[in-house]
Each structure stands twice: as structure tokens, then as C-alpha cells.
């Protein structure tokens, strides 16, 4: 890919994409970045992180537990959808 805004002999060596959405559970953040598939062996890979930040809520244990469970399920289903097929199957090994 040719770009003219920065002259350099090397190619880019990092990747970091961030997406933010408002959802019924709060602010959803999806970050896709360069990382390692295996930290000990330093096998390069892609890291996908998702999280939901809660809107202000009352500090009641029942509400917090319900929100945590719903947010976890939301992120889990999204991750499965983003990685469906061979990529998702590769996490099972």
C-alpha cells in the first residue's frame, strides 16, 4: 500500500482498531490489535477485546450481578459471531 504522508523504509509494525457503540447495557468497546497467540513462544496473532461499561447504576448487589451476567453474555455472543467458523474453532484447541 502506497502512502505519501510519512516517508519510511519499513512497513507499519502495529495494528490497533477501536470501535465504540452505545447499547442497552452501556458503552460497548471493541478493540482489535496486534498481539501474541502464545506469550511464551511469542507467536504473533491478533487480540480482540470487548467490554461494556455500565451507565450509572445503584450500588445494589442484585442489579450489579444481573448487569455483569447480561454484559458477559452479550460480549460472549458477539465474540462468537465475530469469530464464527474456523477461527472460533481454533480457540478450542
pTM over 0.85: no
pLDDT given at position 20: 93
What is the block-wise mean pLDDT of the chain (93 residues), using blocks of 10 residues? 69 84 91 82 84 82 90 91 88 73
Question: What does the CA dihedral 62, 64, 68, 70 come to, rounded to 10 degrees?
Answer: 60
Contact, 90 vs 82, CB < 8 A? no
The rounded distance, in Å, linking the Cα atoms of 74 and 28 is 10
Amino acid at each position: 500500500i502506497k502512502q505519501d504522508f510519512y516517508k519510511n523504509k519499513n512497513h507499519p509494525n502495529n495494528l490497533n482498531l477501536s470501535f465504540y457503540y452505545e447499547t442497552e447495557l452501556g458503552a460497548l468497546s471493541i478493540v482489535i490489535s496486534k498481539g501474541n497467540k502464545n506469550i511464551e513462544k511469542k507467536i504473533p496473532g491478533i487480540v480482540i477485546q470487548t467490554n461494556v461499561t455500565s451507565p450509572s447504576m445503584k450500588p445494589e448487589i442484585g442489579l450489579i450481578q444481573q448487569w455483569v451476567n447480561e454484559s458477559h453474555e452479550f460480549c460472549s455472543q458477539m465474540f462468537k459471531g465475530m469469530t464464527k467458523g474456523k477461527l472460533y474453532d481454533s480457540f478450542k484447541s
